Chains A and B, each alone.
Chain A
């Protein structure tokens, strides 16, 4: 099976712009979670989508949003970018059910905001 893929891998944006990141989960996985990883804050949970519905949400401002499509692919959008949004954004997929709970991570998208 192909692993979790994320596009783009690297992105440079300017403050005030918006950005969309994409994640394709492992085939058959219905859950996609997004995390922000920074040296100072570690791994912070953004949100999780399961069968096109947001199932869990972290403590991030409304500038961070996401969606999931019927093929389980997910996108994350950040509007009005701030310097502090510079981070590695990780996507992880899982079956989403009670069993087989492992999450599998993508390589991440490195976002730099200047």
Chain B
């Protein structure tokens, strides 16, 4: 069975600095997707970035980028030039691309605090 692990329950970063959130996963599949979701306090969960396993190039969305290491089964999120609005709970998620059931598996989340 697939698993997703976020080993950092909480992280802090100074405004304008860079922070990296860690995520590791375990799967025997070769076709899958990985995501980072952001859930601000008392607000809706939104998709930050997605990565297809078959793509070697790391995904980037403005200040958000990932470091996808397929062999190591690692999928970290880098936030550059951190802003106060980046403070949120961040969830790493996995979805099979070919199993047919397409079940999503979420990590336990990392709470990011941004210090002014």
Contact = CB atoms under 8 A, between A and B. Distances in A.
Contacts of A106: 44
Interface string A78-114: 0000000000001010001110011111111000000
Interface in B24-39: 33, 35, 37
A55 interface: yes
B104 A45 contact: yes
B16 interface: no
A33 interface: yes
Interface stretch (B54-62, B66-74, B79-87, B94-102): B94-102
Given A104-B47, A105-B46, A98 B103 contact: no
A52 B109 CA distance: 30
Contacts of A45: 103-106
Contacts of B50: 101-102
Nearest to A90: B45
Contacts, number: 49
Nearest to B97: A98
Nearest to A95: B102
Nearest to B35: A102
Q: Among the interface residues A31, A43, A55, A107, which one has the most CB atoms of the partner chain B within 10 A?
A: A43
A103 B98 contact: no
Nearest to A4: B44
Contacts of B76: none
Contacts of A33: 104
Contacts of B95: 101
A56 interface: yes
A98 B98 contact: yes
6 closest residue pairs by CB, A with B = A105-B45, A42-B108, A56-B103, A101-B33, A43-B106, A107-B44
Interface of A: 31, 33, 35, 42-43, 45, 48, 55-56, 90, 92, 96-98, 101-108
Interface of B: 33, 35, 37, 43-47, 50, 91, 93, 95, 97-98, 101-106, 108-109
